[in-house]
A and B are shown apart, each in its own frame.
Chain A
Amino acid sequence: MTTTILEATGLIKRFGGLTATDDVTLAIRELTCHALIGPNGAGKTTLLSQLSGELRPTAGRIHFEGRDVTSADLGGRARLGILRSFQITSVCDDYSVFDNVVVAAQIREGHGFRFWQAPRGVRALADTTRSVLERTGLADFGDVPAGVLSHGQRRQLELAIALAMQPRVLLLDEPMAGMGPAEAERMIELLGSLRAEYTIVLVEHDMDAVFNLADTVSVLVGGRLVASGTPQEIRSNASVREAYLGHEQEDVA
């Protein structure tokens, strides 16, 4: 049994009268892939945003390697090694693929108040960048401006940027969204290859991906955690089926 790296305890997030996250307690074990699934509006992205530090929970704590990081913001947690990818791909369109990654690699090294040397020319940064591009299958696209990449490649780049930061935990928000079948398959393969080195929290609707990749699956419904377990356990869980199929399961089944 591996150790817990990221832990949420009694997490509650309210927006006005709406409780988007309702007393969620979740332990992410190190070097596993933990999938969050649930119907639309179940609060998956809201939960992910709290883990990444983008949203501050109304109540509850978040611990990273035993440290309380509840008050750290998105940037603060990125510096600790908790990196998120966005549902809508978020890369620098004018930059080449290489530059997108090199910027992340240099940010990882420390502050950017250096005004003379071009980071592209720095051996260590260029090496990191190249190995990350190799890893994410973008090695041949280094000089291509990110804006002209296909959707699937952009998502790969998004992942490459996160990897260049040498993260401990990757929070991925629907990495397969909008991909064609072939692209999705490549992405699943890529994520599979990362599983051994990184802890991954995955929000995804593509069930093929979820059951292929996840070691643990947690199901959210209406902001509540209704079930958590191995993919097999989740598949055979009656309350999960009900969550996905609606509330009148008994009537139709």
Chain B
Amino acid sequence: MTLPLLIEQMLNGLQSGVMLFLIASGLTLVLGIMNFVNLAHGSFYMIGAFTAVSLQLWTGSFVVAAVGACVCAAVAGLAVEYVCARRLYARSHLDQVLVTFGLIYLFNESMRLIFGPQPLASPIPPLLNGSVTLLPGLQYPLFRLTVIGVGLVVAAGMSFVVMRTRLGMLIRAGASDRGMIAVLGVNITWLYSLVFAFGAALAALAGLMSGPLYSVNVGMGENILIMALVVIVVGGIGSLKGAFYAAIVIGLIDTLGRLFLPSAIATIAIYIFMAGVLFVRPQGLFAASAPPQVEARDNGNRVTILWSLSKSRQRVTASVVGLCMIALALVPTLSAWLDDPFLLRLFLRIVIFALMVLSLDLVAGFGGLVSFGHAAFVGTGAYAVAILGWHLDHGEPLALGPIVLAGTHDALVAWPLAIASAAAMALAIGAIALRTSGLYFIMSTLAFAQMLFYLASTPSIYGGEDGLQISQRSTLPFIDLGNRPTLYYLALGLLALCLLLCWRLVNSRFGMIVQACRQNERRVRALGVRTYLYKLLLFVISGVIAGVAGVLLANAELLVSPADLSWTRSGSILIMAIFGGLGTLFGSVVGAGTYLMLEFSLSEWTQHWQIVFGPMLIVFVLLARRGLFGLVLGRGGST
């Protein structure tokens, strides 16, 4: 390692840090002032990049492109604020997450529709092409230097605006006491729109500068969004200073980590850093003076739980559930009769996803713990099955410290191991994430899941981004899982069993306490209960069910890939849970079924199905709050 190389890498780290800051600053302001989670913030980055590339190709001027991109994103930001965000400031973070998730679908698919699926290459503007000799032996690209310069100038400019101007004073004052600002005669609505649009323009600025450095493609916003969320969690929600330092540190860790650390650890170094920070300071390093009021609002999407319905309604519910299960049991027969094997595949998928949703419903619906990284536990289970199989097939024993396993396809060995790994993962992630609450909890589960996603994507014997093929289904005595209907019946049986166990669980003493925690944790603690342990155990139980789903997923697909751990998968599971109605258990089946059938029929109709699905999701959240299962059952007790 030579000194010039080290300096070059540090500059690279700085460059990626300032880009992160540009994204994170807008996000943290919106979060801190409006208490609004905007997952679609990455879309402004993408819009900026795409607009800039096309304007540049069209006009040939980078300046026109840059201005156009920022203006375009600001207008998009204003539109988002006016149409969606405004209606959601007073709603739960969960609603905000879902609506902005829908916006991501909409924006991504629109870009794909307009610009096509191929990544675009953005030329470096001629003026900034070439490199500068910083030191003897250290040539550094001029464009990257410009990015650093622009980033630092913007940071300084923001610091000036926020610290020195009246607008900045109002923004800071709004972050600490919104109500008081209004009493002083300042129109908060106007301030909100402005901050939103400004944040979008900054994200676009980062996006347009990223064009020549990386490729411009659909989905570019999501990766950087997650990094920005890590920055915010580390820096403290609402703190610009925190966002700046955290962004630089994370940029440096990420870049230098790739240089000094083994690749598997390098990709997750920033998440390990975040876990460390959260462990020591659950509110981030520079949390704004008063943490935003996050508690107590994350209850919006609940419907009345089965048992608390009246006797007659309980009977109705039981019959609905019974009929559904019978119908599900008839699917293989129907599929054979219609000679349509796809039907069975679809329903196998529905049953497996229902298990995932059930697992999430347990923590989110009953425990009030909105996990945005649930795919991680499913994926852990699936990968465990695949990895054990791989080691058997390749004759390479799997060494886990002192324990050496030969690898296996035997379900009686592999499945318990897989489920245990999922549970252990839930224990590890839950132990840290549960130190936080509200928004920090949502974000930290998301970030941890992303950590596993990158771990799985790292090139390794397990296939990296391509995923890992599984040579055969697991073997069980007397039962041949190679036969798809058999696998389906087993999955359905496991789903029924898990539903039953969960139903008992949520009504048990344990379940009563956990649900009481969701509604009013302070109350339960005041009665002498150590609530952390209850929540952690609930999280682990949920991990077990997710593990079961993962095992079945691996067997159904015979392929595991990082996509099974991705945050879009976690988001889909969450959407299914909301579709079905949180806190309903059986709603998981309804939700998974609805989502997957909708996805199937929309994608039959158009390949750009997400452009329809995104707005549907937004409208659904804005209008129907009680889930489909809730709608089917009619009005419950609570209002």
Contacts and interface: CB of A to CB of B under 8 A. Distances in A.
Interface of A: 52, 54, 74-79, 83-84, 86, 90-96, 99-100, 102-104, 106-107, 112-120, 144-145, 147-148, 161, 165
Contacts of B513: 103, 106-107, 112
B510 A113 contact: yes
A106 to B, nearest CB: 5
A211 B307 CA distance: 45
A111 B510 CA distance: 9
A112 B506 CA distance: 12
Contacts of A103: 512-513, 516, 524, 527
Contacts of A52: 526
Contacts of A118: 307, 504, 507-508, 512
Interface string B472-512: 00000000000000000000000000000000110111111
A78 B528 contact: yes
B639 interface: yes
Contacts of B308: 95-96, 99, 145
Contact of B516 (A92, A113, A120, A147): A92
Contacts of A77: 528
A91 B519 CA distance: 8
Contacts of B639: 145, 147-148
B637 interface: yes
Nearest to B513: A112
A115 B505 contact: yes
Interface of B: 299, 302, 304-305, 307-308, 504-505, 507-513, 515-516, 519-520, 522-530, 534, 537, 637-639
Given A96-B308, A112-B534, A107 B508 contact: no
Contact of B302 (A79, A94, A100, A120): A94
A169 B417 CA distance: 50
B530 A75 contact: yes
Q: What 6 pairs between A and B have smallest CB-CB spacing?
A: A78-B528, A92-B519, A75-B528, A118-B507, A79-B528, A112-B513
24 contacts: A75-B525, A75-B526, A76-B528, A78-B526, A79-B528, A86-B523, A90-B526, A99-B512, A100-B516, A103-B524, A103-B527, A104-B527, A107-B527, A107-B529, A113-B509, A115-B505, A115-B509, A115-B510, A117-B509, A118-B307, A118-B512, A119-B508, A145-B637, A145-B638
A77 B527 CA distance: 9
Contacts of A74: 525-526, 528
Report whether over half of chain B's contact residues are helix, strand or loop; otherwise say mixed. helix
Nearest to B506: A118
B509 A94 contact: no
A90 B522 CA distance: 8
Nearest to B534: A112
B500 to A, nearest CB: 11
A159 to B, nearest CB: 13
Nearest to B525: A75
B638 A114 contact: no
B579 to A, nearest CB: 20
Nearest to B639: A148
Contacts of A144: 637
Nearest to B531: A75
A94 B305 CA distance: 9
Nearest to A144: B637
Contacts of B519: 92-95
Contacts of A86: 522-523, 526
A84 B508 contact: no
A52 B527 CA distance: 11
Contacts of A116: 504-505, 508
A115 B508 contact: yes
Given A113-B510, A115-B504, A117-B508, A92 B526 contact: no
B638 A147 contact: yes
Contacts of B304: 94
Contacts of B504: 115-116, 118
A59 to B, nearest CB: 24
B523 A165 contact: no
B279 to A, nearest CB: 22
A55 B509 CA distance: 29
A90 B520 contact: yes
A159 B315 CA distance: 34
Most buried by A among B307, B523, B528, B537: B528
A118 B524 CA distance: 18
A113 B537 contact: yes
Contact of A84 (B512, B526, B530, B534): B526
Contact of B520 (A83, A92, A99): A92
B523 A119 contact: no
A147 B305 CA distance: 14
Most buried by A among B305, B505, B638, B639: B638
Nearest to A54: B526
Most buried by A among B512, B522, B523, B530: B512
A79 B529 CA distance: 9
A104 B509 CA distance: 11
Given A94-B305, A96-B637, A147-B638, 16 more contacts: A74-B528, A83-B526, A90-B526, A91-B520, A91-B523, A94-B304, A94-B519, A103-B513, A107-B524, A107-B528, A112-B512, A115-B510, A115-B511, A118-B307, A144-B637, A145-B638
A78 B522 CA distance: 13
Nearest to B519: A92
Contacts of B508: 114-119
Contacts of A96: 308, 637
A114 B526 CA distance: 20
Contacts of A104: 527
A50 to B, nearest CB: 14
A102 B512 contact: yes
Contacts of B523: 86, 90-92, 161
A97 B504 CA distance: 21
Contact of B512 (A75, A78, A119): A119
B177 to A, nearest CB: 19
B530 to A, nearest CB: 7
A93 B638 contact: yes
